Structure 1
Amino acid sequence: MKKGYEVVIVGGGIIGNAVAYYLAKEGQKDVLVIEKNYISSGSTGRCAGGIRQQWDSEANIRLAMGSVKIFEGLEDELGFPTEFYQGGYLLLAHTPEHMEWFKKRVELQRSLGLDVRLIDPKEAKDIVPYINTEGLLGATFCPTDGHANPFYVTFGYYKKAQELGVHYLIGKEVAGIEVRESRIRAVILSDGSRVEARNLVNAAGGHARDIARMAGIDIPVNPQRHEILVTEPIGHLFDPLIISFKQGIYFRQELNGGVLMGYGDPEEPWSYNVRSTSRFLFNMTKKVTEVMPILDQVRVLRQWAGLYAMTPDAQPIIGGVEEVEGYYQAVGFSGHGFMVGPKTSELLAELILTGKTSLSLEHLSHKRFKEGKGKIEKAVI
């Protein structure tokens, strides 16, 4: 580790590693990534790996579509496996209100060039024969949605960034950020050592608000536990990741046959708690077998929990801030950071290097909360 760096990145998940890679790819190799645990130890390594373009907001749709284009060529670019698989996403509607919502969403998504369609229950069952269509009014399906292995993708970015000259500091925690004359000056580590920095990237996931406060910036990002489980490997049953808004669940079959599933508890408080619960296990298995009864006798292999970094409108906060020069952030993804990570990171690297981006991030600035311009993303599970 050197005395100082042009860019210091806090967080070793997909955002931190991908920003480091895209900076180095464009020639800025004077970069240090600090991760207090291990690579992909936070939200990235605990997520389901879904990659969805079917969102409510134009911002999320564009970031997701851009990320899918990157994911499609990422194995070749990084020279590392990603297990990217485009089996689609099937979103289920069981109420007239959800059907009306789906129609509006599809109209917006198609206007932005997304290959998505509204389908009836028969078509949904053609795509997933084992699905329970009782009470199902319709669904939406996007064939280019899919999933990837979060560990492989993140380690691919990590390895390639290292090859390009990016430095890493693993197992060290940031304890403070030095700001003088409204500018980032240095990062202070928990052992008391000081690393000079001209620019700092907050990519700290569920701990993003803590890092921002060290720089004198308050962002409305709060950590919330979300639980997940995976079953034993079974024979191939279905390709798409399935979301039921009635049940508030998602589930997909992994390439090895295991079925990975989760849901968000609306009563879950803000906390850093990542313990698993028997309540989740009971509720999850009950909910998923109502949607796909054939899973009733499948055994659960393991369960775990991770943190969603939630914002008031469930959309990310990306970009710099007026208060502190040299401070950048890509935080508050509200559970979908992995799927929009590649494009987000590419754009943030552009911003750091050139002061502008090829896709506007203005509407994702933290200023929107003060100005009352936030639009709630309702499609978060």
Structure 2
Amino acid sequence: MRGEIKRNHYNVCIIGGGITGTALAYFLAKLGENSVAIFEKSYLSSGSTGRCAGGIRQQWSTRSNVRLAMRSVKLFERYKEDVGMDIEYYQGGYLILSYDEFEAQQFEQNVKMQREEGLEVEILSPRQVKERFPYVNTEGLVLATFCQTDGHANPHKAVIGYALAAQRMGVDIYTHTEVLGVDVQNGSVVGVETSRGYVKCNVVVNATGPWSREVGMMAGVDLPTESYRHQILVTEPLENFFPMMAISFSGNFYMRQTMHGQFIMGQGDKDEKPGINYNVTFKFEKELVEKMVKVFPFLKNLRVIRHWSGMYNMSPDAQPIIGQSKKVKGYYYAVGYSGHGFMVAPAVAEALAELILFGKTLHTDISYLDVERFSGRVIEREKNVV
């Protein structure tokens, strides 16, 4: 992957070697387009994908996001068979806990809509939560929702699986190769300037996560995204007994147990300022640990073994920004996932590959996610975000 550039021209150049970039390359090649190159300035999954908790859920507050996530789950369910790698995908469910009366009412409306979309979701009382998950402290809990087909997977393995499958179909992947500029002439993409030389192309795809706005501006495309640090920690392992992802928007936390027994958990910080920042803080550890041992008392004597940070590339409505530029022909983007890129990337990549090759999507409508939605229209904000 570090070798010299093999060709001086590709039909499609993808900037970014995370889950979106590698999945897109895979779906393009699967549809017959193998004149594709991925340029990643570091190693595969070195950005947001490799720093996330790996959750995969379909419980959203907007109907369109539910549809997108449901399609992604179908693709994750077939991943091992289709792509050829075990990514530790497990449908242990998502338990969403509400500690707020108004939010609980919203959850009931959400579930009604989710069921209309064909998603099997339960509403659980605190008593039902305690009966089913006795290791959860339900003090202060108003209600919970649970969807068994939600789950989690290993993000690194998912990226590598897509990358290897794409390579087998003829895609070239260049790691440690930074894109320094996008060449636009007469309103069309004609090439990219990389740290290893110039490459001609017909299509450029911005799949750069935290750097989406800067890479957009290389082509004169304004993508209204900002990146915010989110911290995460992992504990020493326990024997596996916690199958689901537990999450709370009002409680501001999420947690799951890995296949090897460790607990991964994190929370948002309302005081976080935008900008690329990979530092970690003791304040985060202290706040999160104090909160989590109250909700999950079994954590009390566990040791923290690692703590890191990653970027949420946020959009104004906390929904991804996906589509093609109206200003620059051949410039496409899949950015602004707002912390949920891993879980919806398969459906996004499939749809974007179809859009690039056929001019329309065949499986999932993504037209509502185009950047044009911010041009004076009333936007619907996704509420189910930590």
Q: Distance in 2 between matches of 1:301 and 1:323?
A: 48
Matching of residue 190 in structure 1 with residue 202 in structure 2: no
| Worse overlay, 244-253 or 164-173 | 244-253
Code of the aligned partner of 1:96? E
Q: Distance in 2 between matches of 1:343 and 1:47?
A: 18
**3-state SS of 1:297 partner:** coil
Matching of residue 199 in structure 1 with residue 203 in structure 2: yes
- Which of the numbers 323, 333, 338 marks the counterpart of 2:337? 333
Q: Distance in 2 between matches of 1:337 and 1:59?
A: 15
Q: Distance in 2 between matches of 1:61 and 1:284?
A: 29
Report the CA distance between 1:236 and its aligned residue. Answer: 2.5
What whole-Å deviation, never above 9, does each CA across 1:312-368 have from its counterpart, x for those lacking one? 100001111110111111100000000001010000000001000022222101001
1:212-223 equivalences under 5 Å are: 212-223=216-227
- Which of the numbers 272, 280, 283 marks the counterpart of 1:268? 272
Cα RMSD between the aligned structures?
Answer: 1.0
Contact 1:44 1:338 in 2 (8 A): yes
- Which of the numbers 355, 376, 386 marks the counterpart of 1:351? 355
Code of the aligned partner of 1:309? N
Contact 2:233 2:304 in 1 (8 A): yes
Q: Distance in 2 between matches of 1:126 and 1:256?
A: 26
What whole-Å deviation, never above 9, does each CA across 1:201-250 have from its counterpart, x for those lacking one? 10000101111000101111111000001100112232111112332000
- Which of the numbers 79, 82, 87 marks the counterpart of 1:82? 87
1:141-152 equivalences under 5 Å are: 141-152=146-157
Give aligned-pair identity as a percent: 47
**3-state SS of 1:92 partner:** strand
Match for residue 283 of structure 1? Answer: 287
Contact 1:40 1:151 in 2 (8 A): yes
Match for residue 2 of structure 1? Answer: 7
Q: Distance in 1 between matches of 2:234 and 2:381?
A: 30
Match for residue 58 of structure 1? Answer: 63
Report the CA distance between 1:270 and its aligned residue. Answer: 0.5
Q: Distance in 2 between matches of 1:113 and 1:255?
A: 29
Contact 1:130 1:237 in 2 (8 A): no
| Worse overlay, 367-376 or 279-288 | 367-376
| Worse overlay, 235-244 or 346-355 | 235-244
What whole-Å deviation, never above 9, does each CA across 1:280-312 have from its counterpart, x for those lacking one? 111111111121112111111101000000001
Q: Distance in 2 between matches of 1:256 and 1:179?
A: 48
Match for residue 230 of structure 2? Answer: 226
Report the CA distance between 1:116 and its aligned residue. Answer: 0.5
Match for residue 133 of structure 1? Answer: 138
- Which of the numbers 302, 309, 324 marks the counterpart of 1:298? 302
Q: Distance in 1 between matches of 2:151 and 2:373?
A: 31
Q: Distance in 2 between matches of 1:125 and 1:23?
A: 46
Matching of residue 248 in structure 1 with residue 269 in structure 2: no
Match for residue 314 of structure 1? Answer: 318
Match for residue 15 of structure 1? Answer: 20
**3-state SS of 1:233 partner:** coil
- TM-score, normalised to structure 1, is 0.98
Q: Distance in 1 between matches of 2:225 and 2:281?
A: 24
Matching of residue 365 in structure 1 with residue 370 in structure 2: yes
Contact 1:230 1:303 in 2 (8 A): yes
Code of the aligned partner of 2:74? K
Contact 2:229 2:312 in 1 (8 A): yes
Q: Distance in 1 between matches of 2:378 and 2:191?
A: 33
Unpaired segments ≥5 residues, structure 2: 1-5
Match for residue 171 of structure 1? Answer: 176
- TM-score, normalised to structure 2, is 0.97
Code of the aligned partner of 1:378? K
- Which of the numbers 123, 135, 142 marks the counterpart of 1:118? 123
Q: Distance in 2 between matches of 1:144 and 1:127?
A: 17
Q: Distance in 1 between matches of 2:12 and 2:100?
A: 49
Contact 2:213 2:225 in 1 (8 A): yes
Code of the aligned partner of 1:224? Y
| Worse overlay, 32-41 or 91-100 | 91-100
Q: Distance in 2 between matches of 1:60 and 1:22?
A: 21
Report the CA distance between 1:184 and its aligned residue. Answer: 0.4
Q: Distance in 2 between matches of 1:246 and 1:316?
A: 22
Q: Distance in 2 between matches of 1:137 and 1:59?
A: 27
Code of the aligned partner of 1:134? E
Q: Distance in 2 between matches of 1:287 and 1:323?
A: 47
Contact 1:18 1:158 in 2 (8 A): yes
Contact 1:33 1:167 in 2 (8 A): yes
What whole-Å deviation, never above 9, does each CA across 1:4-23 have from its counterpart, x for those lacking one? 10000000000000000000
